[in-house]
Structure 1
Amino acid sequence: MDALITAAGKGTRANLPEGMRKEMLPIYTIRNNKIVLRPIIECIVYNLSLSGVDKFFIILDINDKHTEDYLSTLNMRTEFIYQKKPEGYGKAVLLAKDYIKNDFILNAGDGIILDINKIGNMINLHRSTKKTILSVMSVPNPELYGVATIKNGKVIKVIEKPEYPESKYALAAFYIFNKEILDLIAGAELTPAINKHIINGNKVLPFKIRRSDWVSIGNSGTYYKIMERTYNYYSKVISS
C-alpha cells in the first residue's frame, strides 16, 4: 500500500523559528529496543513501513531541502511532491492526484498514531471491506477539530471545527482512502471532499482510537508534553 504524508507547512502556528519544520522536531521512539530521539516524520515513515507500506509520497515546501535530504537517507521508496505556496490541507493533498494510483493512507506529517498494532488493524479493516477508514478519538473539546458524526457504525458526516459539534469524535489526521477522494477536493479543507464521498454512496467507517494513541505537534508551548508522552509511552512498551 502507498502512503501520502503532508509535510509542507512552515510551522507558523507552532511559533517555530524561521526555517524550522514541525515535521522535523524529534520525539521519543524505539530502535533496537532502546529509547531514542527521531524526527516525528521519520517515526511516521518507520511505523508505516512496519505496517506494510512500501511507497511514500511526501509533500514538501519547494524550498525545504533539509527535510528532503534527511528523508532521502532512510532507504525507503520515496517520491517528493513540491508545494509552491500553502493553500490549505485540502490543496496540499490534491497535489498528489497525478501520483497516487490506488487506495492510499493519508497521514499528516506532524501527527502520529503511536500504537502500530492499531495502524495494522486499520489497514486490515480497509483490505477486508474496501471502505474508507477514518481514525477518530473521543475528545473533550471537539470544536477544535474536524468532527465525525457516527450512526449505526458508519460515518455519515464530517464537519471542520464546528461551533456546535454533533459528536465528541474528533478526526485524527490518519485516513485510508480510495483514490476517488482526490477527484472530490475543491477547496482548502479536506472534510468537504469526505462529505462528497459519502454523498456519492460510499460507506465510510470510523476506527476508534484512544486520545492517548495520537500525538500531534501543535505549538512550541506544548511541545514538552509531547516529549513527555512519547517517552512515557515507549518506556512502558520496553518494560512490558
Structure 2
Amino acid sequence: MIRKAVIPVAGLGTRMLPITKVVPKELLNIIDRPTIEYIVDEIISSGITTLIFIISQGKGGIIDYFDTNLNLRSFLKERGKLDLLKIVEEVEEKIKHLIEVRQKIPEGLGHAVLMAERAVENEPFAVVLGDDLVDAEIPCLRQMINIYNLLSNKTKNHSIIAVEEVSKEDISRYGIIDGERVDNNLIKIKKVIEKPSPKEAPSNLAIIGRYIFDPVIFDFLKKIPKTHGEYQLTDAIQLMIENGYEVYAYLFEGMRFDTGNKEGFFRTILHYAIKNPNLKEVLIRFVNERKIC
C-alpha cells in the first residue's frame, strides 16, 4: 500500500516572475482554487493519507493554506457567514497527516526528494510535483498505484514513472525514456536521459511529475554527482536501473497541464473554465465580442 506522498514545492518559480517574488506559484489560482489544492485532491482521492511537503523560505503560505485558522473560523461563525465557513473547513480538513520538511538550499529535484527520507521511512512512496496538473476520470496517481499493485504480484522493489508523448520541439525540455513495451500503456525502462536534443532522444516519451518509488531510490540519490549545480532525480533513476532494479514508465490516461510557466498556466485556466458551464458561456461570449475567431 502506498500511504505517503512527497510534494516538492521548494522551487523559486522563476518562470512565473515577478508575482512569485511574494506568492508561491503553487498558490496561484486556477479559477477558484490554488494549483496546490488540485494536486492535494488528486493525492487524497488516490487513497494516500500522509502528505510530505518539501518547502523553502517564503513557501510557508502553502502549509498555512491547509492549516487550521481558528480566528478566521470564529470570525465567519460570528458574522453568520456559514457558507464561507464550510468552504474554509473543507480545505483545512483535507489532509489527515501533514509533514513539513525544509530544503534550505535549492539543489535540484533529486535533493528535494532525498530530504523526505526520514519522513518516508522504509516504504514505497509517491512523488507528485506541484506544478503538473492532470485532469483524468481516474486520478493519475490512482492509475499508477493500481499498476504498481499489479506488478507487486510479480516483482519486488520496482518503481513507476508517469510519461506522456511530447512533440519533437518539446523533447529537450524533459527527461526522456527508452524502453521495451510490456503492454499498450506500460514500458520497462532501459535508459533515462535528462533533456536530450531531439536527435539524441531515443523516443518522445517524456517524464511528467508523477512517480512511485521503492525506498531504495534514497540510496542512489546519495551516490549521484551534481549536474549543472543540481542533483538530478533522473540520474538516480538511471543508476537504479543499472543496478538491476525494475523501473516502469506508465502512459497515463488524462490531460496534463504545466502550470509552472505563463503559457501553460493560461491554458490550464482556459481548460477548467470550459469545464464550468457558467464560465464556458462567459468565455464564448468574450471571444465572440472581441471577434477573436
TM bucket (normalised to shorter chain) is 0.7 to 0.9
Question: Which residue, 40, 45, 60 being the options, matches 2:40?
Answer: 45
Question: Which residue, 216, 230, 234 being the options, matches 2:272?
Answer: 230
Secondary structure at 2:107 match in 1: coil
Question: Which residue, 216, 219, 234 being the options, matches 1:180?
Answer: 216
Displacement of 1:234 in angstroms is 6.2
Residue 158 of structure 2 is aligned to residue 113 of structure 1: no
The structure richer in helix per residue is: 2
The residue number in structure 2 matching 1:206 is 249
Question: Which residue, 205, 226, 229 being the options, matches 1:169?
Answer: 205
The answer for unaligned runs of 5 or more in structure 1 is: 29-36, 236-240
**1:16-37 deviation line (CA, Å, top 9, x unaligned):** 3212211111224xxxxxxxx2
Contact preservation (8 Å) 2:141, 2:210 = no
Residue 26 of structure 2 is aligned to residue 2 of structure 1: no
Displacement of 1:225 in angstroms is 1.4
Calculate the TM-score normalised by the size of structure 2: 0.72
Displacement of 1:215 in angstroms is 1.4
User: Aligned in 2, Cα 1:78/1:149: closer, same or farther, shift over 3 Å?
Assistant: same
The residue number in structure 2 matching 1:83 is 103
**1:15-70 deviation line (CA, Å, top 9, x unaligned):** 23212211111224xxxxxxxx2111111111111110010000111332212211
**1:145-167 deviation line (CA, Å, top 9, x unaligned):** 11011213311111110122110
CA RMSD of aligned residues (A): 1.8
Aligned residues: 226
The residue number in structure 1 matching 2:78 is none
The residue number in structure 1 matching 2:25 is 22
Displacement of 1:116 in angstroms is 5.3
Identity over aligned pairs, percent:
30
| CA–CA distance in structure 2, aligned partners of residues 116 and 2 of structure 1 | 22
Contact preservation (8 Å) 1:13, 1:219 = yes
User: Aligned in 2, Cα 1:215/1:233: closer, same or farther, shift over 3 Å?
Assistant: farther
Displacement of 1:112 in angstroms is 2.1
| CA–CA distance in structure 2, aligned partners of residues 197 and 42 of structure 1 | 32
Deviates more, 1:117-126 or 1:46-55: 117-126
Question: Who wins on radius of gyration, i.e. which is larger?
Answer: 2
**Superposition misfits of 4+ residues, deviation over 6 angstroms:** none
The structure richer in strand per residue is: 1
